[in-house]
Structure 1
């Protein structure tokens, strides 16, 4: 990655939290896509336990609660995001079934076989796709499901500019076939995978950012780190528009097929 491009992790956490808490979703996605992924999951009941790992402010968590039975715990590292989820759950009358908690995805607060479903949209990259699949499996019952979105290549070859950008930002990015093979090796039977449409990136992620960026910059006038954060996000959006035929997010849904 050249000097003008940075990983989101290189910025001040408080600025990241403030920036992304002002938009409904902290990554590409949509309510329609969440519902579509949920349609591949069978057997949920009012007694089911669901974890939304890396829930952010809970855009998809609320959609899950509106379309699936059971109780949901949203886990996120940022307290401000968790406060937003809990406020949204109260406002929607879902707080008896939805709870946000501050936590780290590499040490989830669940027991072995406790969960029926682990959900993670736009977040598993923080721990790594393969590591997350392997480490989180023990929290799921046999027959339980995992559903995650992951940055993936759509082609075996791509232009150097976007190839280098993603290898620097997330070296684990890979083709869909290789991601499915990783899921199988981790002890899951792949149930479904599908590519998120462009609208998940543009209308639901980049357009809301563009709308709030001027106010964010006004609040942090003269703050070089804040200016760099906005420049970084604008650069990422430009690259997506330029190279969207080569990569995107893919929803991977798997079912636990053995104890491990």
Structure 2
């Protein structure tokens, strides 16, 4: 297996492929001033195995196009949605978030939890904006500094790994400069990282290594995940995901 195939194998059976929770998804949804009983069109971009897609489908009357590049994640979403009787509300779509075949101003809501870093925050909102109706909403979680200064180790790490990391005020400014009016913001709580993401991840390490014969490649993945967990536990006071909800202004 390639490293990418191993990573997919490690994460595909997880409830979530990143920090988050049902409460986070519903809190973000509460900032959206649209009639949830109307037939809204929603795109969930970088949906993974679709924990938040399911929550959206259970709380919005419309239809959701669930986009991910990896069919393994979409297969899990199909299984979950069928088991809950939601298959008619969710349409999985294998596609790159950088090359979408959506129509101009097609969607009422574009959603993306913990995935926009793959394209970049500013590039993503500029590209995805064209698919939103005027008055439609963008809702996404994004790596964010939650203090104005931080220790050198974590600052250098994230500036190297994701140079677009910024404070919430910096992210909101980018939204405003690109035709959006902020409607809501909150940082994800620690439980969304530890209880919902990292602790379940730690429980999968042993089985993953056994499944792949304790290969060097599998051990490298586990070691990298352990280092990520270490950094979060040590520096959790300085960064999180920020959840941003913004409305597309008319004429943009």
- Decide: shared fold, TM above 0.5: yes
Q: Residue 112 of structure 2 is aligned with which of 116, 120, 127?
A: 120
**TM-superposed deviation, 1:193:** 0.4
**TM-superposed deviation, 1:46:** 3.5
**TM-superposed deviation, 1:221:** 2.2
Measure, in 1, the Cα distance between the counterparts of 2:251 and 2:229: 41
Matched, 1:78 2:70: yes
Structure 1 portions without partners, runs of 5+:
1-10
Q: Residue 190 of structure 2 is aligned with which of 168, 173, 198?
A: 198
SS at 1:221 equivalent: coil
Corresponding residue for residue 10 of structure 2: 19
Measure, in 2, the Cα distance between the counterparts of 1:156 and 1:196: 17
**TM-superposed deviation, 1:226:** 1.3
Whether the 8 Å contact between 2:46 and 2:115 is mirrored in structure 1 is: yes
**Which segment is superposed worse, 221-230 or 116-125?**
221-230
Measure, in 2, the Cα distance between the counterparts of 1:201 and 1:193: 17
CA offsets 1:167-208 (integer angstroms, 9 cap, x no match): 121111011100000011111000000010000000000000
CA offsets 1:115-166 (integer angstroms, 9 cap, x no match): 0000000100000111111110010000000000000011221111111111
Matched, 1:94 2:89: no
Aligned residues: 250
Corresponding residue for residue 240 of structure 1: 232
**Which segment is superposed worse, 22-31 or 153-162?**
153-162
Measure, in 1, the Cα distance between the counterparts of 2:240 and 2:214: 34
Corresponding residue for residue 226 of structure 1: 218
Matched, 1:35 2:26: yes
Measure, in 1, the Cα distance between the counterparts of 2:148 and 2:31: 28
TM normalised by structure 1 equals 0.94
Corresponding residue for residue 7 of structure 1: none
SS at 1:41 equivalent: coil
Measure, in 1, the Cα distance between the counterparts of 2:101 and 2:61: 21
